[in-house]
Chains A and B, each alone.
Chain A
């Protein structure tokens, strides 16, 4: 199984500042035949279901604000929120969908400083 490890476990950032969350996979999730990384990011607000933010490691889902961006390739990935808003308080998860079982990272809790 591919193990997904996120850092940090929790993060406090001031409003308007940048937030960065890292995700590392135990093996590459880059599919060479199409040069795509099978890595997604989700946001889960308290009491709600998860919401897809990013797929293919760097493509924003429709309707997701452009302050959210994803980067990385192979085994190392980053989710960046360029200017933190109050509504961004949530737990963020990365997920690999390269191979079954489609494992998630343990989550990163993002709070306002």
Chain B
């Protein structure tokens, strides 16, 4: 069964840092690009960042560029996002998602991990 399991969320103070992880199983992880998507409380979906299967190419939303770094360890089947200089507006559920064979739409999603930025 194809599964994604996020971890690493929690409460962090403004200006702080956090690293989220996403453990993948049930598919050839290195063959697929991966994305992070977030959802602020009561709001819609926001694409945050993406990374190619090899990890060579990375992409970011303007709202997180320079503060978030996406990476992957294909030997561990794990996706990461390092978040720094966190702001209140980064408070959200963060989902990792597998990119489909049909382009950058996402056919498998994790259940999400919650990040709360507050003093």
Among B44, B47, B100, point to the contact of A102 (Cβ < 8 A). Answer: B47
Is residue B88 contacting chain A, with contact meaning CB distance below 8 A? no
Specify which chain B residues have a CB less than 8 angstroms from the CB of A38 in the assembled complex.
Answer: 103-105
Q: Are A100 and B109 in contact (CB under 8 A)?
A: no
Specify which chain B residues have a CB less than 8 angstroms from the CB of A48 in the assembled complex.
Answer: 111
Interface string of A50-88 (1 = CB under 8 A from B): 111001100101000000000000000000000000000
Specify which chain B residues have a CB less than 8 angstroms from the CB of A59 in the assembled complex.
Answer: 102
- Give the docked Cα–Cα distance between A100 and B110 (Å): 21
Specify which chain A residues have a CB less than 8 angstroms from the CB of B80 in the assembled complex.
Answer: none
Q: Are B110 and A101 in contact (CB under 8 A)?
A: no
Is residue A28 contacting chain B, with contact meaning CB distance below 8 A? no
Is residue A7 contacting chain B, with contact meaning CB distance below 8 A? no
Interface size on A, residues (CB 8 A): 27
* Residues of A contacting B: mostly: loop
Q: Given that A102-B50, A104-B45, A106-B44 are known contacts, is A52 also in contact with B100, CB under 8 Å in the complex?
A: yes
Specify which chain B residues have a CB less than 8 angstroms from the CB of A103 in the assembled complex.
Answer: 47
Q: How large is the interface on B (under 10, 10 to 19, 20 to 34, 35 or more residues)?
A: 20 to 34
Q: Are A97 and B44 in contact (CB under 8 A)?
A: no
Is residue A95 contacting chain B, with contact meaning CB distance below 8 A? yes
Q: In chain B between 4 and 40, which residues have their CB closer than 8 angstroms to a CB of chain A?
A: 35, 37
Specify which chain A residues have a CB less than 8 angstroms from the CB of B106 in the assembled complex.
Answer: 40, 42, 50, 52
Q: Given that A93-B45, A101-B47 are known contacts, is A51 also in contact with B109, CB under 8 Å in the complex?
A: yes
Distance of B53 from chain A, by nearest CB (Å): 16
Q: Which residue of A lies closest to B93 (CB)?
A: A49
Q: Are A49 and B103 in contact (CB under 8 A)?
A: no
Distance of B113 from chain A, by nearest CB (Å): 11
Q: Identify which of B35, B45, B100 gathers the most chain A CB atoms within 10 Å of its CB.
A: B45
Using a CB–CB cutoff of 8 Å, the interface residues on chain B facing chain A are 35, 37, 44-47, 50, 59-62, 95, 100, 102-107, 109-112
Using a CB–CB cutoff of 8 Å, the interface residues on chain A facing chain B are 1, 36, 38, 40, 42, 44, 48-52, 55-56, 59, 61, 91, 93, 95, 97, 100-107
The 5 nearest A-B residue pairs measured at CB:
A97-B104, A40-B105, A49-B109, A107-B44, A104-B45
